Amino acid sequence: MKFLQGPVDEAAKRLLGSLIHGNGVTIRLTETEAYAGLGEDEASHAHRGVTKRNGIMFGPPGFLYVYFTYGMHWCANVVCGPEGSASAVLLRAGEVVDGLDLARSRRAGHKDRDLARGPARLAQALGLDAAANGANLLDAHSPVRLSLEPASTAVLSGPRIGIRKEVARPWRFWLAGEPTVSATRTAR
| C-alpha distance across the termini of the chain, in Å | 29
Q: Which tens digit of pLDDT belongs to each residue from 24-80? A: 999 999 999 988 876 676 555 565 666 676 668 777 899 999 988 867 799 999 999
Q: Which tens digit of pLDDT belongs to each residue from 98-137? A: 999 999 999 999 999 999 999 999 999 999 999 999 999 9
> Three-state secondary structure along 87-112?
EEEEEEEEEEEECHHHHHHHCCCCCH
Q: Write down all domains in the chain, each with its CATH number in brackets.
A: 2-175 (3.10.300.10)
